[in-house]
Amino acid sequence: MKSLKRVAVFCGSSLGTDEQFTTDAKKLGIEMAKRGIGLVYGGGNKGIMGILAHAVYDNGGEVIGVLPEAMNVPQVTDNSAHTELRIVKDMHERKNTMYSLSDGFIALPGGIGTIEEITEIYTWRQLGYHDKNIALLNSNGFWNSFIAQMDNCVDLGFLSPEARNILKSSNVVDEILDLLAMEPEELP
Ligand code: AMP
């Protein structure tokens, strides 16, 4: 088992329409704080991001928000839920900072920002730039269509079965954190 000091969580800056999304975000935040796993996230106060950051912070956990200069405005930043807020130059520096601070990656339900972030970190894993685990918290089947598309890529010869297996998923918060703590699989 790997020890997880911090995990980056990508998630919606909106709440979504299903209460299960916010329920699971809260559960994840509480469980991270309980296990002593710090949160690295996009630094915003909106939507699922804000719910998650508060759940970790309010339960005594570490929260590091990473925001580009241009987004450091009161409408976005939530100073009540950070142990640390890092202001960086741009989106590229933000991603590098989030990725290097974290021992694993989780995506909760979200929109194109979330999908882009988790897909990029998955791509980097496939290319061998890192060997950190990646998991989708599949609240009420939110990620089913994404998972089906990855299976489609395998079936049609665009993704190796080994790279497909790197991407873990569960709708159970405890299981997600256990999956991230597993020894990473080797890719051929
Ligand atoms: P989306 O899923 O499109 O709502 O985008 C959410 C993801 O993009 C988060 O994981 C953040 O890293 C980033 N992001 C998008 N909007 C914001 C915002 N208002 N504040 C901070 N980060 C944001």
Pick the residue whose CA is nearest to atom 8 on ligand 1.
113
* Each residue's pLDDT tens digit, 45-81: 899 999 999 999 999 999 999 999 988 777 677 678 8
* Percent of the chain topping pLDDT 70: 98
| Mean pLDDT score across all residues of the chain | 95
- The CB of 13 under 6 Å from ligand 1? The reply is yes
Main-chain dihedrals φ then ψ at residue 150, nearest 5 degrees: -65, -40
Beta-bridged to residue 167, according to DSSP, are 134
Q: Which pTM value belongs to this model? A: 0.95
Task: Tell me if 40 sits within 8 A of 98, measured CB to CB.
Answer: yes
From atom 10 of ligand 1, which residue's Cα is the shortest distance away?
10
- Nearest 5°: CA angle at 178, between 130 and 25? 95
At 135-165, the pLDDT tens digits run 999 999 999 999 999 999 999 999 999 999 9
